[in-house]
Amino acid sequence: MHNVRYVRVSSPRLVRLRKTFRTIIIRAVEEQQSILSPLEMDYLRDFLSTNNFKDGDSFINHEFTQNFETFEEAHVIKEEIINLDNLLKASIYICAFCPDIKGDRVYDPISQAWYCIPCYEEYVKDHLDDEEDEKRYEERVAIDIGLAEEEE
C-alpha cells in the first residue's frame, strides 16, 4: 500500500502567504506563455503564407516546399508552451484535476500528482471496485490523516 503525503497549513498568515506565492508563480507562467503564443502564431503564419496555403486548403494534400525553419521554430515554441503548462500541472501549485490554487494538497505517489483534498477523495473513490476496496480506502485515509496531523 502506498503512503500519500498531505500538506496542510492552518495558520491564516501562512495560508495567505501560500496563496500569494502560488498566484505569483502561476502569473509568471501565464505571462511567459502569453509572450510565446504570438511568436508561435507569427512563425506559423509566415510558414503558411510562403507555401501559398489558404483557408480551406487541406494539410494532407498540400505540398509544403519552403521555409521549414519557421515551422520548426513554431514547433519548438509550442513544445515550450506545453512544457510550461505540464510543469505547472505537475506542481503543488494547482490541483491535478481542477484549477484550484487555494487549499491544502495531497500527493499521491501512484499517480505522481498533487490534488486538493476534495479531488483526491473523488479520484480515489472513482477507482474503487468493491466494498473491500472501499474499506481499505477509508482505513488508509484515516491512517494518512492521523499521520499528517502528527507531523504538524
The pLDDT tens digits for 81-103 are 989 988 888 888 888 888 888 88
Residue 59 contacts by C-beta under 8 Å, 6 or more apart in sequence? none
Contact 47, 67 (CB under 8 A): yes
Contact 104, 7 (CB under 8 A): yes
Give residue 45's Cα distance to chain centre: 28
**What is the C-alpha to C-alpha distance for residues 41 and 133, in angstroms, rounded to an integer?**
49
**What is the C-alpha to C-alpha distance for residues 104 and 5, in angstroms, rounded to an integer?**
11
**What is the C-alpha to C-alpha distance for residues 96 and 119, in angstroms, rounded to an integer?**
8
What is residue 148's predicted lDDT score, i.e. its pLDDT?
Answer: 46
So where are the chain's domains? Answer: 5-151
Alpha helices in 93-130 (DSSP H): 117-126
What is residue 63's predicted lDDT score, i.e. its pLDDT?
Answer: 56
Q: List, for residues 63-77, the tens digit of each pLDDT value.
A: 555 556 777 788 888
What is residue 1's predicted lDDT score, i.e. its pLDDT?
Answer: 43
Compute the chain's Rg from CA coordinates: 22
**What is the C-alpha to C-alpha distance for residues 37 and 104, in angstroms, rounded to an integer?**
32
Question: What is the percent of the chain with per-residue pLDDT over 70, rounded to a whole number?
Answer: 64
Residue 83 contacts by C-beta under 8 Å, 6 or more apart in sequence? none
Cell of 43: 512563425
Q: Which residues of the chain have pLDDT under 70?
A: 1-2, 50-68, 124-152
